[in-house]
Every structure is written in structure tokens, then in C-alpha cells.
Amino acid sequence: MSFRTTAIDYVEDVSPGSGALPPRAWYASSDAKSLSLNGSWRLRVAPTADAEDDSFAEPGFDAGDWAEVAVPGHWVLQGDGAFGLPIYTNHLYPFPVDPPHVPTENPTGDHLHTFDLPEDWPSEGGCVLRFDGVESCARVWLNGTDIGEFKGSRLPHEFAVGHLLKPSGNMLAVRVHQWSAGSYLEDQDQWWLPGIFRDVTLLHRPAGSVLDFFVNASYDHITGEGTLRVDSDVDGRVSVPALDIDVATGETVTAAVQPWSAEVPKLYDGELVTEGERVPLRIGFRTVELADGLIKVNGRAVLFKGVNRHEWHPEKGRALDLETMREDVLLMKRHNLNAVRTSHYPPHPAFLDLCDEYGLWVIDECDLETHGFTEQAWRDNPVDDDRWTPALLDRAARMVERDKNHPSVVIWSLGNEAGTGRGLTAMAEWIHGRDASRLVHYEGDWNSRDTDMYSRMYASHAEIEQIGQELDGGTHKRRELPFILCEYGHAMGNGPGGIADYQELFEKYDRLQGGFIWEWIDHGITHPELGYAYGGDFGEELHDANFVCDGLIFPDRRPSPGLLEFKKVIEPVSFEGSDGTVRVTNKQDFADLSAFAFEWSYQVDGETVESGSLPVPALAPGASADVKLPEPPADHGGGESQWTVRALLAADTAWGPRGHEVAWGQLPDMARVLPSVAATDGPVTGDGVITLGPASFDARTGALRTIGGVEVSGLRLDVWRATTDNDEGAEWQTGTRYAELWRKYGLHRMRHRLDGVEVGDDALTVRTRVAPAAWEFGLAAVYRWTSDGNRLKLTVSVGPEGEWPVPLPRLGVRFGLAQADGVKWYGGGPGEGYPDTKSASRVGRWESTVDGLQTPYLRPQENGARADVRWAELGGLRVEGDPEFYLTARRWTTEQLDAAAHLTDLKAVETVWVNLDHALHGIGTGSCGPGVLPQYQLHAEPAEFSFVFSEIS
């Protein structure tokens, strides 16, 4: 045994490692013992890979003065920075690109853990030490013996260690290097977080125990029969009591079964028994195939309503516990999602167990991305360099072998954004050869050379429509393949906009088999001063700021409006209709509607006046029925009215309680009567003041001062909004970077010129011109005030002047109220809604508070607008709109919101600032993807809109 000569060549070696056992299925044994080595470990972090010799691995080494950290964990997220800090980059390598070399400055964490074997640990048999995830390269010693080193951060590695164990005082030493040759293969858009971040487990391996096995469980949708064959390295028997199956391994057996699908995830409990071990099986029968140019499961084409999921926890990084994983799955199911792409690496295996159990289609993606090579036109890309191919094949095998027994996994993905090359082809060939029962995905190869589907990310609506129509050209092979959008709807900040429009296309063209929103969760890191930190907050020399906060849920897993929008857009049942009939359509691929109960209700001016249950037949997937609604109440007072129809879970399910709403629709009945104010009062000029009905104005400027007892300040036309991440766009996007254009043209610094205050017989008219310095275009804005003595009506007329080079962010008025807290409104709610994100906004009566109206996007930006508002009450005022308007209220100005970098920068001012918008520019997904669709753009055009104000007595 020799110490003190640390050879660190392995760190920069392109090979996957040495000493580990061949990859195999990941499973929990029923009877073989295991010992979790998770817990408190000793840690010492050195600045370079060889700063310390390896004497720490020597038995008897005293680490008493080392720090203690939690394993699983990332050392940069523990110790308040004492062990280094996280780094966020999107695709740029945070070190010089000189493969396979890594910097001398290579934070290296020496980990030590001492453990005893439990008293009942068998003395016979072997033992395996398993690491489920270590970033990025580790060398391992047990009781002083060097047992090997490995790379492949999010993949398991096992070592045979039985011969090295003692009953007590075992010393496990693990040296973890932040950077290694493997880092070149792990350039995913996420935080770089070194550490032993998944479980470390010691597994007893009795003589005759199970080694590796492959459950092949297919389903014939014509006969309704399942076929099972469990191939096992060690012979044994397989039983499935519910199916009366008891056969030898390797033997094929057929039985009538219920198939597995994401909608009805039927699992059969079984057992694999070898001479030395019993292993529980959870078998899902399903057949995945490419047929008629479509991805089919059990004979039916699947429509993916998916999301890209990175593993994330705001305190623990990628060290997720089971409850957090379950929370993700439950949230997905409760929001109608049916699919997950495990971007961009295999997740903790327990997550896949949950997908099997609750029902989610999974694209399991290999731990591979070499995106940074794009900066050098992909020169030296490891995936096109044979020296790296063994590492790529090792990664493919570790994923496939670990996860092959999960029915939820229907597609293997080679990795993400790694260009193209021979190494990828080798991976695809190996995977196809090893597992013919699933399809292969990879987005980076637009010719689909190695894949079973054509996949793209962020393609525009227009382009995917062409693909749907099979007018996209491409290679002969590609033309025959189905299409998925493996990433779309970039959920960064406010948005994504336009996903309903995508869904329409997915539903219209068979070839378009859906997509996966980017992404599930904001990777914000809990921070004492900033709330949540993002890129740059740890002083990184290279970083991509809040591009890492682009999820459908906030870091604390509260749904953002984007998730609620997506839930509505992908709901399993649709309701359309008019004239007292509702057309109900089952939009699922496998299940009939028998799991749902249906309800109708009838609202007058947003208040429910009648409701009942709606008999809907248990329609087959894809089927529709016209269902008669009850007669509306005879007298409903002439108010605006509508039906709301809802689909609810009829009984408790594994993922949602009875009564949980899965889908809804609103059908208008009687139209709204617009507010009218007879101009019976006239303006009266007094000492510096003009009064009109309940209001007073500044006689010189025409500025509104009070409405009854309510003080109103700064009321004027407003076109600016705190730019959203989607307004900002990304540097590689052209044509959609509105924020830059808006600032160039001065929309954030509009000047208001007073042209005249006219006191007429029945109206006070204030004429203005609103325009930015340096430019000749502008808006003529005329405010016309009238009153019937009690109510005050403002009609704003806007006329563009000159050539407007850009759309407007918003068009409406803003004003300040001295105080406001509670807010009530009748219109769209309960959450925010913008022109292209308001599918989930439903018309009703809602209540909140000014604070409650804010959406806490991690980088502050425009948020919180309530759409289609008929009237609102706040701060002692009632406002009615003609037509409906968008309502926003906040305790800071738009300018303050715009300037803030973190939520903690927002400090409430005395005034509550209210925006009543006639129109808003859409949201789009320009932060990574197409901008605002033409129909949601707000162009400077003549417009007129009114608000009727009254004081609430």
C-alpha cells in the first residue's frame, strides 16, 4: 500500500474510470441487507487536485478538525461559502476550453466517513458500494485500499468491496474533484455544484443473489394480452400473483392484462427470486413503437404534454429527498402534465419509481452536453472524437442499464446540445441494440440520423405548422418521422406566452406529438440578503444571470402563473358551445371520462346563482358529445351571464382528491351592459380648482386631484412596463428584443406636454401630447371628463402621430392612490393574465390585496395584471371599464420595479400605483424562442376607452 504519491492523471483522462463494476439495473432488494452511508461526513476542501496527498485515506487518519457536511450534498451549498461558491453558466465552460485539460485551480473535496456494519450484517457473501451521483470525478478508498475512480456525475457507480470490510471502524475516503475531463461532457445549463450529491449505499450481496435483470413486459392492444419475460444474469423464478404467473427467468409467458399508460398506470406487483435473493418487481405492460410515422404506445398515438425537469431544491441543489421528488410528481399530475424529459441527465432513480406509480411518460436523457464547443464551431467536440467514445458509451450503458425496468421510460435521449458526431451514433447504435423496446431521441441532429423522431427546441409556431403539414423537407428519413418539441415555452419570468397557440397546432396535426415546456423549476438558491440568488450573485467571473430561473414553479415549488396557464391549455377535457348546449370532448389518449364528475353553474355578473351536476357519458378517448345545459334562470336581472362547466375527479386518486378540478370552460349567455354616465353635470372653475361631479382638478394643468374623499395623484397616459425577461429577449434572438428597442426609442421616458385645458358645458377636456425626447413620433392623448353628479367618467382618446417604429408595451392610464389594501374585481382571475397567457383566467368575482396581486418573479418585472376586468374596487374607489380592462396595482412604481434586480430591492412607497390598461403587448417567449405572435402585439393605433369612477360609500 503506498500513500503520498497522488497521481492525478485520471482527472484529465477521457476514459470513464477504473475499478467499477459493470452497470446494471437499480433495485431495492426485499431481503438482502443494505446500509445507507448517507449522513454527516468529514470534509476538507483543497484549491487544487493535488494540493493534498492521499494520506487522508490511510486507516487511522484523524480528521477530527475537519468540517462536517451532509452527504448527499454539494459542498458549495454548505458552510456559508467557506468551501467555495456555486457558479452558474448556461453554455460557456467556466474554464479554458482545452479538452481534456482542466484548470490547476480545481476545488477538491476530500470526504471521510467512518462506519460500522450492523450487528446482523451477514459474514457470508459479497458487498457492493454504490454511489448514485458524484460531481464530477471521484477517487475512492475503503480502509486504505484504492478501489477506483469514476466520472459521470449523474450516473451510478458500484464497487465490489466485500473483501475490504471489517465489522467496525470502516473508513471510506472519497476525493471529489470539481473539474475533470468529464466536465467537458456535462456542460448543461445549470449551476456547477461539486459534491457527493446522491446516496451512498453499501449493499450486501448474498451468494446466488440477483445481479442484473431486464423485465420485458409488452402489451398487445389487439388481443389485450401482456407478454412477460424477465431476463436475469442469475437464474431464478418470476411470479406475478395477480396474473397467476410463476415462471423461470428467461421464459416467456402471456396473460390477459390491463396495460400501463401515463393515464392509467396499472402496475402488477411481482417478484424475482434467485437462490440468494428476492427482488420486488413493479411490472407495467406496455408496447412502445414507431408505427405509421407516429410514436405509439399500446397501439395509440401519444400527445406529450410535458415539461423538462432538472433536479432542484433551493437549499440542497440537486440533492433531492424523496418527498421533494414526490411533490414534483404530484404537482405535475395535478396540473394535467403527462410527460417529463429528464433534462439533461438521468434523475435520481426514485423519481422514475414515482413516474411508474403515478403515471408520467418519461424521456430519460443521458448525462451528456458539450454545448460550449459551439463557440468554436464545434471543433474538437468530444462527441466527434473517437477517444471519447468509450466515455459516451459508458454513460449510455449506465443510464439504460440502471433504468431499463421502468415502464414510464418510453424514450431514451442521447443527451442535449452536443452537436453531432460519431460518438452519438455509437451511443444510438448501442442503445438500439440493447433495448429494442423503446425509441431513441436526440435534438441536436436535425437530420434524425440516429434517432426515431424529429425533435427540435423553440421552433416557431409557423415552422411547426409546416412540419405538421409535412412541408418541412429534410432528409428522406426525417420526413417519415413524428415530431416533438423537446423544449418550448421558455418559462423565464412572466410567461411563457403563446402556449395555447402551440397546443392548437399539436392537436391539429397528427405528426406533431406535443412538447415539453422549458422548464419545471427556477433554480434560485436561498440567499440571506437576496431572497433567491441567481447567476452572478456569487461573484462568478462568467455567468448568465437569471437565465437559470425559467421554471413553471418558483424555487419553493409554488406554482407560477405559467403552470396554471399550462394546466388549462393541456386539460384532458374541453368544453365549447353556445345556445344552451356544451360540446364535451375527451382529449385523453387512453382513458375514458369515467374518472371525472361534471358540474355546471350559472353566473350573473360573476355571482353563481344556480349550479348542478351535468350528466356526461364516459366518452372514449378522442370522442365528443353535445350535452344540453339546463334552462337559464328566467329572471336574472339583465346582468351579464355565463355558464361555467367543470370536470372534477369523481373519486380520490393517488395524486389528487375527489373534487380536484381537471378542466373547465365558460360559455357566455347574456352580454354585458356597458356602463353609461349621462353628462348632466358640468365643470365649475373655482380658485385654482375645477370641480366636476364628485371630482376636483387642478385648474391650471387639468390634473385630477380627488374623487370624493379619495386623493388621486399623477393620473396620465402610460405606455411603459417593467420589461419582462421575454421582452428583454436573448442575445442570439433577432427581431424579438423589444426591451432594447423600447429603450432606444425612449418609451421608458415619455414626456407629457400639456396642450390645453378646456372647460366646456358638460365636459372638462385636457389635451396632451405624449412623446419621447429625440424622436418625432408620439401620441396625441385627450382626456375627456364628464359626470352625472355622482360618477365620474374619463374617456381617453389616443391618436398616434408620426411613424411608430415599435409596438407599445401597454396602453392605459396610471395613477397613485394614497392608500389601498383590499382589492375586489369582476373579471378575469384569480391569477394574472396577459393577451397570450390568459387561458387560465376565468371570469368571476375575485378578491385579493395589493400585495396578493404581485407575482414574485425572481428578477422583478411586469407582473400581476388581471385581465378582462369589468369593474374593480380598491382604495375607496370603484372603477368600471368600457370596454373591459387590465388591472394592475402595486406599492412601487413601474420604474422601481424595472430597476430592481431581486425581490428584496422592492421597497413599498406610500402610494399605491394603479394601472388600468386598455391593452397590453403580449408576452411571447423571446427569452429563448419566438417573440409575441402578431395577433398579440400592441401597435400604436387610434384608440378610445373609458373608465367610470365613483367613491365607495
Residues catalogued as catalytic: 417, 487
Residue 260's contacts (CB-CB under 8 Å, 6 or more residues apart) are 217, 219, 266, 267, 284, 285, 286, 356, 407
- Shortest spacing between CB 73 and ligand GAL, in angstroms: 24
Shortest gap between Cβ of 238 and ligand GAL (angstroms)?
40
Question: Residue 414 CB, nearest distance to ligand GAL (Å)?
Answer: 13
- With beta carbons less than 8 A apart as the criterion, state whether 370 and 14 touch: no
**CA 11 – CA 151 distance, rounded (Å):** 9
Binding mask 869-908 for ligand GAL (x = CB under 6 A): ----------------------------------------
Residue reference for cell 399623477: 714
Residue 572 in contact with residue 647, Cβ under 8 Å?
Answer: yes
Binding map of ligand GAL across residues 380-419, x = CB under 6 A, - = no contact = ------------------------------------xx--
Please give the residues from 540 up to 599 whose contact with ligand GAL meets the rule CB under 6 A.
Answer: 547, 550
Q: Which long-range contacts (CB under 8 A, 24 or more apart) does 881-885 make?
A: 881/675, 881/916, 881/945, 881/946, 881/947, 881/948, 882/674, 882/675, 882/945, 882/946, 882/947, 882/948, 883/674, 883/918, 883/945, 884/827, 885/812, 885/916, 885/917, 885/918, 885/945, 885/947
Per-position x/- string for 332-351, each x denoting binding to ligand GAL as judged by CB under 6 A, each - no binding = ------------x-------
Cell 423503446: give the residue.
Answer: 438
The least distance separating ligand GAL from the CB of residue 739, rounded to whole angstroms, comes to 18
Q: Tell me how far apart the alpha carbons of residues 36 and 937 are, in angstroms, rounded to a whole number.
A: 56
Distance (Å, whole) CA 329 – CA 331: 5
Cell of 682: 358640468
Task: State the minimum distance, in angstroms, from the CB of residue 498 to ligand GAL.
Answer: 16
Question: Smallest distance from the beta carbon of 547 to ligand GAL, in angstroms?
Answer: 6
Interface with ligand GAL (CB under 6 A), residue from 320, 766, 928, 940: 928
Does 457 engage in binding with ligand GAL (CB under 6 A)? yes
Please state whether beta strands 483-488 and 454-457 pair in parallel, antiparallel, or not at all (unpaired). Answer: parallel
Give the relative orientation of helices 422-434 and 389-403 as an angle to the nearest 10 degrees: 30
**Which CB, 391 or 549, lies closer to ligand GAL?**
549
Distance (Å, whole) CA 508 – CA 329: 28
Is the Cβ–Cβ distance between 858 and 554 less than 8 Å?
Answer: yes
Nearest to 50 by CA among 112, 105, 113, 111: 105
Binding of residue 189 to ligand GAL (CB under 6 A): yes
CB of 730 to ligand GAL, least distance (A): 8
Q: How far is the CB of 929 from ligand GAL (least distance, A)?
A: 9
Output the smallest distance, CB 490 to ligand GAL, in A.
6
> Which is nearest to 757 in space by CA: 782, 733, 734, 794?
782
CA 236 – CA 216 distance, rounded (Å):
15
Q: Identify the three-state secondary structure at position 251.
A: coil
Instruction: Single out the residue of 518, 643, 825, 871 in contact with ligand GAL (rule: CB under 6 A).
Output: 518
Query: What sign does the CA torsion over 311, 349, 404, 14 have?
Result: positive
Question: Quick check: 832 and 694 in contact, CB under 8 A?
Answer: no
- Rounded to the nearest whole angstrom, what is the least distance from the CB of residue 546 to ligand GAL in the complex? 11
Collect all residues with Cβ–Cβ distance below 8 Å to 267 and sequence separation of at least 6: 260, 282, 283, 284, 356, 357, 407
R_g over Cα of the chain: 31
Q: Which residues contact 81 (CB under 8 A, 6 or more apart)?
A: none
For 934, other C-beta atoms within 10 Å of its C-beta total: 8
- Which of 186, 487, 589, 728 touches ligand GAL (CB under 6 A)? 487
The phi, psi pair for 561, rounded to 5°, reads -55, -30
Q: Omega before 259 cis (within 30°)?
A: no
* Residue whose beta carbon is closest to ligand GAL: 189
Q: What is the DSSP string of 492-505?
A: SSS---SHHHHHHH
Handedness of CA 721, 725, 729, 735 (dihedral sign): negative
- Quick one: 550 or 832, whose CB is closer to ligand GAL? 550
Q: Tell me the three cell numbers of residue 561.
A: 402563473
Size of the site for ligand GAL (CB under 6 A): 13
Q: Could you tell me if 41 and 199 are in contact, meaning their C-beta atoms sit under 8 angstroms apart?
A: no
**CA angle at 119 for the pair 118 and 125, rounded to the nearest 5°:** 80
- Between 507 and 544, name the residue whose CB sits nearer to ligand GAL: 544
**Minimal distance, residue 236 CB to ligand GAL, in Å:** 42
- The 10 Å Cβ neighbour count of residue 411 is 24
83 or 518: whose CB is closer to ligand GAL?
518
Which residue is listed with cell 396540473?
335
Burial of 613 (0-12, 13-18, 19+ CB in 10 A): exposed
Cα separation, 405 vs 229, whole angstroms: 12
Closest CB to ligand GAL among 472 and 487? 487
At closest approach, how far in Å is the CB of 350 from ligand GAL? 23
Binding mask 49-88 for ligand GAL (x = CB under 6 A): ----------------------------------------
Pairing status of strand 300-301 against strand 288-291: unpaired
Least Å from the CB of residue 343 to ligand GAL: 6
Please name the helix (run of DSSP H) or strand (run of DSSP E) that holds residue 506, with its range, or none.
Answer: helix 499-508
622 CB burial (10 A radius; 0-12, 13-18, 19+): exposed
H helix count then E strand count, the chain: 11, 58
Instruction: Point out which residues bind ligand GAL (CB under 6 A).
Output: 90, 188-189, 344, 416-417, 457, 487, 490, 518, 547, 550, 928
